[in-house]
Amino acid sequence: MAQHYIELPKLRKKWRQKEVTPQQDRLVRWLFLLDGNEDEKIRKQLVAIAVEDPIIDRAMKDWENMSGDPKLRELYFDRRKALMDRMAATRAGELKVQKAKAEGEAQCRSEAKADDICQYLEVRFGPDSQALQETIRHIESLDRLNRILRGVYTIGTLDEAKQVIQQSLDS
């Protein structure tokens, strides 16, 4: 079973650019019938087509009759609201996923930066730098870690490393 997705806004754009016409394409006719209430020019074209196409004419008349029934209109608006609510919930979920992904990536970068600093301190000062490495591993700010990394490359002693880290934490 094949599925085809037709985006009505893109179809309207093609119609405006004269790439498709409802007079020549029956599928476009029916799709515009579904979407015709949104655009007066499309509606006028459908009315003109309905004069020659009795099926479209009947569908338009039935549509108008249903639109006049308050109960059917209420059902239509309830369904439309439910669809819009579902789309909004889906979009909100997508945004949450994007935010979580961005936060995860930022945390990963911070952890990698902290690892780089700790490796440098380990190589340069050995086990004496363990307390500083623990302090570094608790820093989550990528900006602070970047400042520390730039600072530790210029230090000569473990005390200078402590000063660089403390200055970063104080600012």
Instruction: For 86-100, give the DSSP string.
Output: HHHHHHHHHHHHHHH
Residue 118's pLDDT is 93
Shared domain for 61 and 113, answered yes or no, is no
30 falls in which pLDDT band (50, 70, 90)?
confident
The answer to whether position 91 is within a domain reads no
| Share above pLDDT 70 across residues of the chain, in percent, rounded to a whole number | 98
Cα–Cα distance measured from residue 115 to residue 109, given in angstroms and rounded to the nearest whole number: 10
Residue 145's pLDDT is 93
The answer to whether position 138 is within a domain reads yes
Question: What integer is the mean pLDDT of 151-170?
Answer: 89
Cα angle, residue 130 at apex, residues 155 and 157 outer, rounded to 5°: 20
The number of folded domains in the chain is 2
Residue 127's pLDDT is 93
Residue 126's pLDDT is 93
Name the residue range of residue 112's domain. 106-170
Residue 111's pLDDT is 93
The answer to whether position 127 is within a domain reads yes
The answer to whether position 101 is within a domain reads no
For the cut 90, the answer to whether the pLDDT of residue 28 exceeds it is no
Shared domain for 63 and 110, answered yes or no, is no
Shared domain for 110 and 165, answered yes or no, is yes
The answer to whether position 111 is within a domain reads yes
Lookup result for tokens 């509606």: 43
The answer to whether position 11 is within a domain reads no
Residue 120's pLDDT is 92
The answer to whether position 73 is within a domain reads no
Cα–Cα distance measured from residue 89 to residue 111, given in angstroms and rounded to the nearest whole number: 33
Residue 36's pLDDT is 61
Highest averaged pLDDT of the listed ranges 16-25, 63-72, 76-85: 76-85
Cα–Cα distance measured from residue 61 to residue 131, given in angstroms and rounded to the nearest whole number: 81
